[in-house]
Amino acid sequence: MKAIIELAKRGSVFDAARAQLADGAPVDFHLSFESARTLFSELTPARMELLETLRRAGPCSIYALAKAAGRNYSNVHTDVARLLDLGLVERQNDETVFVPFEAIEIRMPLPLAA
């Protein structure tokens, strides 16, 4: 399963999910933002690197993740909390966190020339 992050109008994620269900294909996780500014304020380079580090490390505590990333625990805790809210990271019963996706795609359609 992969996460598809895209620029789209509010509610359009439901249209994509309906189309995917109708195809009978495995359902991917969809996350949409209304602007590139919002997308990149949420998915900062530090958070994207954290996703990569967590995917490589596998399920681990936030402390272990901070150590693997070479970052301050408090900052990693804040970033993981936001990634949990966005659905890009999940928490297990033993409080470890992990990335449930094999890949993350970011789609940014460019406007047509006038």
36 with 49, same domain?
no
d(CA 88, CA 31): 9
13-65 confidence digits (pLDDT tens): 455 555 545 566 678 999 999 999 999 999 999 999 999 999 999 999 999 99
In tens, the pLDDT along 54-107 reads 999 999 999 999 999 999 999 999 999 999 999 999 999 999 999 999 999 999
77 shares a domain with 88: yes
Find all residues with CB under 8 Å of 97, minimum gap 6, and list them.
54, 59, 60, 61, 62, 65, 80, 84, 89, 90, 91
* 114 pLDDT higher than 60: yes
Task: Give CA–CA dist 47/50, Å, rounded.
Answer: 5
Residue 114: inside a domain: no
C-alpha to C-alpha distance for 10 and 31, rounded to whole angstroms: 10
Q: Clarify whether residues 32 and 50 are in a common domain.
A: no
- Is residue 37 situated within a structural domain? yes
Pair 29, 70 in one domain = no
Residue 11 has pLDDT above 80, yes or no: no
Q: Which pLDDT belongs to residue 93?
A: 97
- Its domain, for residue 36, covers 1-42
Element housing 60 (H / E)? none
Does the predicted TM-score (pTM) go above 0.85?
no
